[in-house]
Amino acid sequence: MYSIENIEQEHQKLYLEVKADPILGMPTDIMVPKYSFKKNFEIRILDREEWNNGPPITAQNMWYTDGSRIEQGAGAGIYGGRYATVFQAEVAAIQGCAREIIRQGAARQSIAIYSDSQAALKAIGSMQVCSRLVWDCVKALQELGSRNKLTLAWVPGHKGHKGNEEADRLAREGAGRALIRPESFCGIAKTHVRASIDEWMDGKSREWWRKLPQQRQAKMFIKERSASLTDDLLGQNRKAIRIIVGLLTGHCRFNKHMSLMGLAEEATCRFCSEEEETAVHVMCQCEGLARLKPRIDFARQPRAAASRGVPRKMDTCLALEAAST
């Protein structure tokens, strides 16, 4: 039995183990939501057709931004490190553009900043912000928009628009450079955090399943935690789930299991009378069930049977259930 002290120690151990992960130990881009109800800039997402004759929005000062992600990392004219997402690169590009215009001392001008990322523009235009990077970008745009007429507009990407193509080239160039500072330059995105936690959980689950001394028969079918098998199971109704779990674990009305429970005298297969009636034998080996083969796709090996996923037709489940009654 666990005491409160033991539980606290286990929780602390779990926390320290997770924090030791190279990604989860980094500062995140996630923050407590902040709100920006009044914007000193306008965001416009126009139809593609409006770009047929060139930029539909003109201004005294026109800028194009872009973010890029390749195998080496992400960039927006400068390298953003291995862990920055495309979205973060796009937002960083807009923020960098705003900071550069502020540095140049622009005032009382009409300014247009073009980006081919609708996701970045919508995040910047949202009243609620949960990303530190997006919030910093909004603050830079607010400062720039307080002294200028500022418009952020969407440009269709990779459609031959000169400014966007040049921004894309610079972003790819930046993505290929080295980051001369510790990772991550903009905080780890929520998607990376979730992916790292899922990967950590998968590793722990595989290790636990591998070391578990029980479940010999289930291990013949289930090698490790399977997201696809889980999704298939959860897509069934309760009766189907009960039948399928019984088949995979052998804990159903097969003679071998019933004899171990003292509910049957013989463990021999009722269909072929040659071997013990186990889930592996019935689903993968029994020739006495040839009459069911048109309805059930039998496999010769347990792993092959499990890898095909859960049968989605109820008649398949019911056929095996009926065979074992």
Q: Regarding predicted confidence, which is higher, 301 or 200? A: 200
pLDDT score for 33? 95
Give me the phi and psi of 10, to 5 degrees please: -65, -40
In angstroms, the CA 143 to CA 41 distance is 10
Q: Are 133 and 92 in contact (CB under 8 A)?
A: yes
Q: Going from the N-terminus, what domains does the chain have, and what CATH number goes with each? A: 15-194 (3.30.420.10), 214-323 (no CATH)
Residue 98 structure tokens: 């705003």
Q: In what order do the strands lie in the sheet with 41-44?
A: 41-44, 149-154, 110-115, 61-65
Q: What percent of the chain has pLDDT over 90?
A: 19
In angstroms, the CA 285 to CA 6 distance is 48
Q: Regarding predicted confidence, which is higher, 265 or 293? A: 265
For residue 101, give the nearest of 28, 27, 171, 151 by alpha carbon. Answer: 151
Confidence of residue 1 (pLDDT cuts 50, 70, 90): very low
pLDDT score for 109? 93
Can you name the residues that pair with 110 across neighbouring β-strands? 149
User: Cβ neighbours of residue 15 under 8 Å, at least 6 residues apart?
Assistant: none
Exposure letters 204-233 (e unless 16+ CB within 10 A, then b):
eeeeeeeeeeeeebbbbbbeeeeeebeebb
At 257-274, the pLDDT tens digits run 888 888 878 888 887 888
For residue 134, give the nearest of 184, 92, 100 by alpha carbon. Answer: 92
Strands 61-65 and 73-75: unpaired
User: Cβ neighbours of residue 313 under 8 Å, at least 6 residues apart?
Assistant: none
Q: Are 311 and 288 in contact (CB under 8 A)?
A: no
pLDDT score for 52? 73
**C-alpha distances out from residue 99 to 103, 105, 108, 121, Å:** 6, 10, 16, 17
Confidence of residue 4 (pLDDT cuts 50, 70, 90): very low
pLDDT score for 133? 93
How many alpha carbons lie under 13 Å from residue 105 in its C-beta half-sphere?
A: 0
Tokens 């095996």 belong to 320
At 157-204, the pLDDT tens digits run 666 556 666 666 766 665 555 554 555 567 787 887 888 888 888 888
